[in-house]
Amino acid sequence: MEKFNPESTFESTQEYFDLWLKTYQATLGRLVEMPATGPAREKSEKMMKVFSSLVSLNRAWMESNTDLHMVFMEAMRRVREKKAEGMEGELSPERYKDFYKIWIETYSETFHEFLKSGHFTSDMGRFLSHFIEFQKLNREVLEENYLKPMNLPTKTEIDGINKELYSLRKTVKELTRQVHELSKKS
């Protein structure tokens, strides 16, 4: 798929975000990344990691959004072209269905091209990676600050129990099978 290059008002949003990001990295970002000290350093560092991860997630989100916006613009351009070719004059309610058909087909085709492209695949991979990283850190902070002080089990502890249960089930099944085999022989 050709790189979309429509005139876009979204570019200014992107520029604004880039400017914000640069300023953040030069100021608050440096404070966030700074090693924590004192009795609450572990908790504090984890909290700061969540914040930093949220910024990375926003960055990936903005990049994905920019690409998506460009695809929308391209789809809209194609719809305009097709409408001009096949539907002259005012759009009356009777002809609305024809327009809808053009719209849905054009948008589907244009997005299919994009969804098939390496551009989307890398966007999606990057966004998903940042999203999971953020969720993971967020969960750790939640566990650390709320679950542990209340003596409630954390995900890691539940996973440990589940693993044990899985392994026990497997052992029981294997032993049952062996007993069954032996009873058939005797």
Partner 1 sequence: MNGLKLMGDHEKFKRGMEVFLKHPDFSVGTTPSEIVYIEDKMRLIHYLPTVDTPHPVPVLIVYALVNRYYILDLQPDKSVIKKLLEEGFDVYLIDWGYPAGADRYLTLDDYVNGYINTAVDKVIERSGLDKITLFGVCQGGTLSVMYAALHPEKVKNLVTLVTPVHFDTDKGLLHIWAKSLDVDKIVDYYGIVPGDFLNVGFLLTDPFRTMIDKYVGLFERLECEPGDMECQVRNEETVKNFLRMEKWIFDSPDQAGETFRQFLKDCYQKNLLIKNEMVLGGKRIDLKHITMPLLNVMAEFDHLVPNDASIPLSDAVSSTDKATLVFPTGHIGIFVGSKSQKEVCPRIAAWLKPRSLPDGAKKERAAPGRSRRKEKIPPPRKRK
141, 47 in Cβ contact below 8 A?
yes
Query: 11 vs 159, which CB is nearer to partner 1?
Result: 159
Take residue 73 and report the two structure tokens written for it: 């613009």
Residue 94: CB minimum distance to partner 1, A: 6
Spatial separation of the C-alpha atoms in residues 55 and 18, rounded to whole Å? 12
Query: 36 vs 165, which CB is nearer to partner 1?
Result: 165
**Contact footprint for partner 1 (CB under 8 A):** 92-94, 100, 104, 107-108, 111-112, 115-116, 121-122, 124-125, 128-129, 132-133, 135-136, 155, 158-159, 162-163, 165-167, 169-170, 173
- Could you tell me which of 130, 110, 94, 161 has the C-alpha nearest to residue 2? 110
Query: 45 vs 113, which CB is nearer to partner 1?
Result: 113
Residue 129: CB minimum distance to partner 1, A: 5
Residue 30: CB minimum distance to partner 1, A: 27
Residue 107: CB minimum distance to partner 1, A: 5
Residue 34: CB minimum distance to partner 1, A: 27
Query: 44 vs 65, which CB is nearer to partner 1?
Result: 65
Spatial separation of the C-alpha atoms in residues 43 and 51, rounded to whole Å? 13
Distances (CA, A) of 171 to 15, 46, 138, 152, 178: 59, 39, 36, 29, 11
73, 136 in Cβ contact below 8 A?
no
